A and B are shown apart, each in its own frame.
Chain A
């Protein structure tokens, strides 16, 4: 017996929906195995990880707080990935955006009025876009690999933030702790309810809706999808690959920068040496789990946010390392990408030999 992959004539509509669900199912099974291997009760582990956080208002709010930046960043990344631009550096764009968005309340604390917050969000988005423009320009001008350049810039941005909060931007009245001054009310994103939720959640929702319409209904969305699937056909349609690369990176960077600024302004209220538990990287998983579709991303954002809260929960109550959250996120991405094969291929068991010998298959 051998397992054969048989190419389908068209994408399977059923698998388009089913493949993320299969991936989630496989992730759950693997997670259960992990709990068994570490000597924990798998049923309790899965319950604590995936179910319990959903039964409590505090953790539900916390899920929204964590899902918001994930969804925003993943929306931006989906435009990149759909158009074949492999932006892996959203984490850096998040951080650099936050730096640009927050210089106003830190360096000019007296400038506190109705314009402060809109300006912060604008600078945050521009900063993220500028950071993302670097790998985009390198790609279009010098044909460099954007995966490497965007990833390396993550560390540059992280170190820049570290330097700022330990040096020039350190709070003068902060007893030498590496943190900036606390923002004034004018620089704080208004809260929603009594928890940590802020205006950032509805803003992310608006981005999801607008992007869903743009991708499905407009010329720009069409251009993005054509370029991703077939650049040659895109150039035949009159689209410019270079311009689209610049656009996709700028948009993804702006979304990440916006998310970074809102995270600092809405949740942290000051700049710290570390402002992200890896949102920029986790958002890559969100984007793929959500099928690069804004509505899918909305759902996927909550699933991945749950993995953060669940990780903390099992650490607190069962003594499992909170690295379990990263492991489960990694497994999920692995399974999502693997299950995507099913969309264009059919798995078949056969006793026959390969349909064509490798190498010979190409030219027959």
Chain B
């Protein structure tokens, strides 16, 4: 584990010479200047953080380094030589590797087969398997080359991507939000690997919005805002608050919990031995989940992606039916009722995927208001006819209350940025003042300002007497808003524990599998 001793290591930026030097990189998409004359220099053997809010232009920048986007202006020099990186294959040939946030693995193939696919000439599979074993163990990321990817948890899948990168002997590894899918313990192991790579002279470009880990492992940081470099700094000399300020440009509003001793009322949402089989080979089976969410409190479910969060959400919302007594709303069994019935009983739901699940991409926002509120007595539908006037009225109200920014009135959902659409889909449910709210990933991909707004709204809703259940992978968020925390792991849910006594370490252990024992106990 990387503890205090690592922090005391002089995290000085290595003066080993410039590996990659970008000067004046510019990329335009239509009217938007995604990157505006960006200068960035990465030294050999350093871990270089690239910080910025969503939409600041981080992904665009690294895509130009990785050859999947071509700059409109500016130049990239690699080891002192100006290069035009025109494809990912060329980037790999230069020694630039990338680990993506969303994996590019075939679930039905083995680890070795997946890795072989990345090479133009994989050669003998047995030799490759031996190399995978050797390299992965050497770097502390052991892998079984013969395991089928579908059977592996997300943390291990990321290892495959990293090892695939390492086998190409890169000089620079670009990592996009690598810890978002890891337990704290897995993240610690990854940091050791990164530090080892850096000490061997490999540079790492580390994209993250988790400021704490940036401070812990990065030597240098470049901060982007609205496509421009606003600051370069040594992250160890900054505080998390000062880094956040540089990213956002203004002071980030903290969430205020006015009443830390919430007035807890009766149980409004109860899950009783909720069990649901996996609907496809890659889904997770829910195994005997028990949970009470009471009026006045926010209960959060932590867990690494893909451990049954989506399946749990579907069962609670009613998109997947279960036994009648497995889900109860305000003492009424409803496991076999549909989602509209549950909404009429004052429950509201916000799914993880806003586009295509929470909203129809090609429909206007006012039409998307009808999507979840046609049956809840808002007057949107009478005798089968819709009232678009009412829908526009509600849409305007959501837009105003939740600060949804749009280029023109009532646009199609797909034209909104992720953060704005999230404000809309959360606002659409909050606007109803639901008695029971279930949210999956409330602030995923949302900028700091909007995230604070949404979190505050969730707390305020609970304090007004509603039961709020939040499913999230973001531990900072969970500790910020939750009164009690439970952990989901492979379809098991641990008992919910008081957030004030819960620690990150305990959550990490539960994520890694103790939830199964705790849930069974």
Contacts and interface: CB of A to CB of B under 8 A. Distances in A.
Contact of B358 (A10, A229, A233): A233
Contacts of B374: 219, 222, 237-238
A221 to B, nearest CB: 8
Contacts of A233: 356-360, 371
Interface of A: 6, 9-11, 217-220, 222, 225-226, 229-230, 232-233, 235-238, 352-353, 355-357, 360-364
A232 B385 contact: no
B409 interface: no
A364 B371 contact: no
The 6 closest A-B pairs by CB, nearest first: A238-B340, A9-B415, A363-B104, A10-B412, A230-B360, A238-B339
Interface stretch (B62-70, B244-252, B465-473): B62-70
A364 B68 contact: yes
Contact of A230 (B63, B104, B356): B356
B314 to A, nearest CB: 9
Nearest to A220: B384
A6 B59 CA distance: 19
Contacts of A225: 363
Contact of A218 (B371, B384, B412): B384
B415 A236 contact: no
Contacts of A356: 63, 68-69
B70 A352 contact: yes
A11 B68 contact: no
Contacts of B63: 356, 364
Nearest to A227: B360
Given A10-B412, A355-B69, A362-B104, A237 B372 contact: yes
A5 B362 CA distance: 19
A118 B68 CA distance: 65
B411 interface: yes
A248 to B, nearest CB: 17
Contacts of A237: 339-340, 371-372, 374
A353 B343 CA distance: 50
Contact of B367 (A6, A222, A352, A360): A222
A357 B385 contact: no
Which one of A11, A232, A360 has the greatest number of beta carbons of chain B within 10 Å?
Answer: A360
Contacts of B412: 9-11
Given A9-B414, A219-B381, A222-B370, A360 B357 contact: no
A222 B386 contact: yes
B97 to A, nearest CB: 13
B386 A236 contact: no
A226 B367 CA distance: 10
Contacts, number: 98
Size class of the B contact interface (CB-based, 8 Å): 35 or more
A230 B67 CA distance: 33
Contact of A364 (B89, B100, B343): B100
B371 A236 contact: yes
A237 B89 CA distance: 44
A209 to B, nearest CB: 15
Nearest to A362: B104
Contacts of B86: 353
Nearest to B86: A353
A211 to B, nearest CB: 14
Contacts of A11: 362, 412
A218 B30 CA distance: 37
A219 B386 contact: yes
22 contacts: A11-B412, A218-B384, A218-B385, A219-B385, A225-B363, A226-B360, A229-B361, A229-B363, A230-B356, A230-B360, A230-B362, A232-B353, A233-B357, A235-B319, A236-B371, A237-B339, A238-B318, A357-B87, A361-B68, A363-B104, A364-B59, A364-B100
B68 A226 contact: no
Interface in B332-391: 338-340, 343, 349, 351, 353, 356-363, 367, 370-372, 374-375, 381, 384-386
Interface in B76-91: 86-89
Contacts of B282: none
Contacts of A232: 353, 356-357
B364 to A, nearest CB: 9
A360 B317 CA distance: 35
A243 to B, nearest CB: 11
Contact of A226 (B70, B338, B371): B371
B119 interface: no
A10 B408 CA distance: 11
Contacts of A229: 360-363
Nearest to B374: A219
B102 interface: yes
B103 interface: yes
Contacts of B103: 363
Which one of A10, A355, A357, A361 has the greatest number of beta carbons of chain B within 10 Å?
Answer: A10
B319 A10 contact: no
Given A219-B386, A236-B339, A361-B68, 18 more contacts: A9-B412, A9-B415, A220-B384, A222-B374, A229-B362, A230-B360, A230-B362, A232-B353, A232-B357, A233-B357, A236-B371, A237-B339, A237-B371, A352-B70, A356-B63, A356-B69, A357-B87, A364-B59
Interface string B181-204: 000000000000000000000000
A229 B59 CA distance: 29
